[in-house]
A and B are shown apart, each in its own frame.
Chain A
Amino acid sequence: MRRTWGLLAAVLAAVLLAGWNPQVAGQVQRSITNDTLTVALGTEPSTLDPQRTSGDGLMVTKHIFNTLVFPDRNLVIRPELATRWAVASDGVTWTFELRRDVQFHDGTPFNAEAVVFNLRRALGPGTGPSLTKTWLDMVDIDGVKVLGEYTVQIRTVAPFGGFLFNLGHIGGGLMMSPASVQRFGREIGVRPVGTGPYRFVEWVRGQRIVLERNDTYWGPKPSYARVTFLPIPEEAARNAMLETGEAGVSVRVSPLEAARFANSQQIQVIKALVARPFAMWFNVTRRPLRDIRVRKALNHAVDKRELIKAFFLGDAAILDSVLPPGLPGYRSVGVYEYDPAKAKSLLAAAGYAQGLRLRAYCPHGRFTLDAEVCQAVAGQLAKVGVTVEVRTFGDYAAFLSTLEKEPEFDMYFFGWASGSLDPDGALWPTFASENAGLRWNFGRYRNARVDRLIRAARIEMDQSKRRQLYAELQAILVDDAPWIFLYTTYGYTGARKQVKDVWVRPDEQILFYNAYPAR
């Protein structure tokens, strides 16, 4: 009996001690140094295959990989692995000249063959789900050709004015080493090899991803010798780590915590506009909402300022267009002023003087305070006699499939971001009638004028002409009121004060290869 208990104790001790690696002891603590930047990420990437990852994974992969072109801080397309490019007069045949001094981290050269390999891999059949497939779905795979060792041709299926933005998407067309892809097969997702400013060192699942500076990088070499990404799902823990110095950067700080850090000696909050407009999207096939007077009435019935004050401590911008400020092509169109009397008279004119019952679908937990804002909007609409029955979805997947399959709703709360940071990505999926009833035009919006303009802007190669088309589109769409226009928010990133030049993009991706420690 005594022996049995002793055995049990030994087994318990073995379980507890198994796998302790004395080398990592103490490594994680106090990591504010001039050498290593530790970043507390919200979620762990599912994979580091740049053509398959998403969300926070893209932040990590953009440090390891390059794109052919990439937008700068002002969202102007700049060369990365491509030095020059031109589009032929047919509007579909693009030629890219590549840098000649680039090597992958495994020592193999980067050249036109590698570009063709990567596009084929990403777009060809049998590669499974691929992010690049989506960003580059306009690429005609048979028109991707090696023209010379450092010259590559890429043909698109139709002229597309936003092509460079898709090619420069943070998850589009990132160049992987063909030799390593072939060597590692499926494993490439856990041992990525690119041309980027950092090379991959290790990924301990659930614990950390470590990158180190690529000393043979073709571009400006990063200051930090190492960047370590820690997946810390809970905001309180991320911020605690920032306060203790276990982390140098904490992503997605909430407005309240950001206000708390405002007076901190050690911590700075980097505030950046998020290019994601929030709105209640109407299902324009429902009877009351077919009437533009009702749509405008509902816009006038919502006090945006009050929502921003109540939910975002006043720190958000009232949405004044279908595009978010900061996106290329954005133009401020105007705001439906809060005017309950006008809302009531518009409703009366539409034949709803006695009021109206509507059903709203809202995600819960997908966006900041989504369900709460929904309830508040419903509360405001009640004041003009519109009763809103709010149905919330804790599960985002269920929310999306319900929007697609059960259109018995009148409106839904949503924030849509253009992944490519080009206006086409914001307007084509959401307003083109081809997509009515599909993602992301769940409101079944159809408007022949809008369709014409979206298509014209799509194929226009002259960027200033495109801008004019988008300006016209924004004016039409705001006037047609397909949404209750609400707000765009700011994203807050916490960083130790000695970490300088952290680049927070309007798509909430954060890049560290320009960051440097204050001396």
Chain B
Amino acid sequence: MIRYVATRLVWMLPTLVLVTVVAFLMLHLAPGDPAELLAPADATAEDVQRLREELGLADPLPLQYVRYMDRLLRGDLGYSYASGQSVARELLPRFAFTLRLATASLVLAVLMGLPAGVVAAVRVRSWADHVSMVGSVVGLSVPAFWLGVMLMLVFSVRLGWLPSAGAGTWKHLILPTLTLSTWSIAIIARMTRASMLEVLGMDYVRVARAKGLPERTVIVRHALRNALIPIVTVAGLRFGYMLGGAVVTETVFAWPGMGRFMVQSIQARDFPNLQGGILLFALAFALTNLLVDLCYGLLDPQVRYQG
């Protein structure tokens, strides 16, 4: 298994290099000039041109890319155009916040979605099934922007229980987590229900019941464990996606994560920030996929990893 993990890690390298090329090209070929935006409002055309040269943006693209890669290989992500700070220093604290919000949302989504889906499947067509499935449709369709503002109005403005926005204490984490996890709770509940229904109809479940095992054991040990594979896949994808930063939720709650930071950097055409951020997403996503693949092995002994 170590060999498998090592191989996977090595294979990530070409992917990441490809990501740097694509990110570089897309950023530089997109309309909009960083110098134009960075220059203060009253700047003249000459000011902008001087700025362009100072930033190295006047050079041919291949030269700029080689310069970027040369620095990157020495572990230097460059310096943000707007702030002049090192990109690593800009990214890491924000990534830590995104990681925290994504993890909390995933945990909540699993804790809520999984039981809801299991109950719905076990008591199919009961009121519990209807409630959880209607709830999940609502959860899938409510826009995060609206939900976030509503939660804020209720829990902060009306009741005064929780801070409206910002970060810093565990209380600040609650509303963004609720907002961000709603969609995930719903999708996990639906996946669990569908997957459980499929498994519950299988022979080995009937055998387990016939053996006289308690229903609880049949459902948790035998059925759920086998039903988990598609659920882990969905949860993993969702987690990887959330690591990219939840722009809407972060913006509503002023959560200092990656999503908002990347949007700001796009608006400012802050290429060093964007290249660094995209690379970090790609890495985080690849690692999440690897973790998901390893989880398959935990769940299903038939899965074997070959390096």
Decide if B267 is an interface residue (CB 8 Å cutoff): yes
User: CB distance B83 to A46 under 8 Å?
Assistant: yes
Chain B 72-96 against A: per-residue CB contact (8 Å), 1 yes, 0 no?
A: 0000000111111100001001101
Closest to A41 in B: B254
- Cα–Cα distance between A246 and B254 once the two chains are bound (Å): 13
Chain B residues closer than 8 Å to A171, beta-carbon distance = 40
Decide if B193 is an interface residue (CB 8 Å cutoff): no
Which DSSP category, helix, strand, loop or mixed, fits chain A's interface?
loop
Decide if B170 is an interface residue (CB 8 Å cutoff): yes
User: CB distance A395 to B267 under 8 Å?
Assistant: yes
Decide if A54 is an interface residue (CB 8 Å cutoff): yes
**Distance from A89 Cβ to chain B, minimum over Cβ atoms (Å):** 28
B80 in complex: contacting residue of A5, A46, A208, A400, CB < 8 Å: A46
Decide if A206 is an interface residue (CB 8 Å cutoff): yes
Q: Count of chain A residues with Cβ under 8 Å from any Cβ of B?
A: 69
Chain B residues closer than 8 Å to A19, beta-carbon distance = 96, 100
Chain B residues closer than 8 Å to A397, beta-carbon distance = 31-34, 36-37, 267, 269
User: CB distance B42 to A20 under 8 Å?
Assistant: no
Chain A 97-135 against B: per-residue CB contact (8 Å), 1 yes, 0 no?
A: 000000000000000000000000000001011010111
Closest to B167 in A: A207
Known contacts: A12-B107, A237-B165. The answer to whether A128 contacts B37 by CB under 8 A is: no
Known contacts: A12-B107, A207-B166, A232-B165. The answer to whether A435 contacts B31 by CB under 8 A is: no
Closest to B51 in A: A129
User: CB distance B166 to A129 under 8 Å?
Assistant: no
Decide if A493 is an interface residue (CB 8 Å cutoff): no
**Distance from A192 Cβ to chain B, minimum over Cβ atoms (Å):** 12
Known contacts: A27-B168, A133-B47, A243-B157. The answer to whether A236 contacts B149 by CB under 8 A is: yes
Chain B 235-261 against A: per-residue CB contact (8 Å), 1 yes, 0 no?
A: 000000000000000011111110011
* Interface core residue of B169, B253, B254 (most chain A CB under 10 Å): B254
- Cα–Cα distance between A18 and B92 once the two chains are bound (Å): 13
User: CB distance A47 to B169 under 8 Å?
Assistant: no
Chain B residues closer than 8 Å to A243, beta-carbon distance = 157
User: CB distance A234 to B267 under 8 Å?
Assistant: no
Decide if B5 is an interface residue (CB 8 Å cutoff): no
Decide if B59 is an interface residue (CB 8 Å cutoff): no
Decide if A401 is an interface residue (CB 8 Å cutoff): yes
A18 in complex: contacting residue of B45, B100, B173, CB < 8 Å: B100
Chain A residues closer than 8 Å to B269, beta-carbon distance = 397
Chain B 29-56 against A: per-residue CB contact (8 Å), 1 yes, 0 no?
A: 0111111111111111101100100110
Decide if A375 is an interface residue (CB 8 Å cutoff): no
- Cα–Cα distance between A27 and B107 once the two chains are bound (Å): 27
* Interface core residue of A135, A137, A208, A241 (most chain B CB under 10 Å): A241
8 Å CB interface, B120-170 against A: 149, 152-153, 156-157, 160, 163-170
**Distance from B165 Cβ to chain A, minimum over Cβ atoms (Å):** 4
User: CB distance A234 to B168 under 8 Å?
Assistant: no
Sample of 27 A–B contacts (CB below 8 Å) = A16-B103, A18-B100, A28-B168, A43-B264, A46-B83, A47-B85, A52-B84, A128-B84, A129-B35, A134-B42, A205-B93, A206-B255, A206-B256, A206-B257, A207-B256, A230-B165, A232-B166, A232-B254, A234-B165, A236-B252, A240-B152, A240-B156, A246-B164, A397-B34, A398-B32, A438-B44, A438-B45
Closest 3 pairs between A and B when the two form their complex, measured CB to CB: A206-B256, A397-B32, A46-B82
Interface positions of A (Cβ within 8 A of B): 1, 4-5, 12, 15-16, 18-21, 24-29, 43-44, 46-47, 49, 52, 54, 126, 128-129, 131, 133-135, 137, 171, 186, 189-190, 204-208, 230-234, 236-238, 240-241, 243-244, 246, 395-398, 400-402, 417-420, 425, 429, 435, 438-439
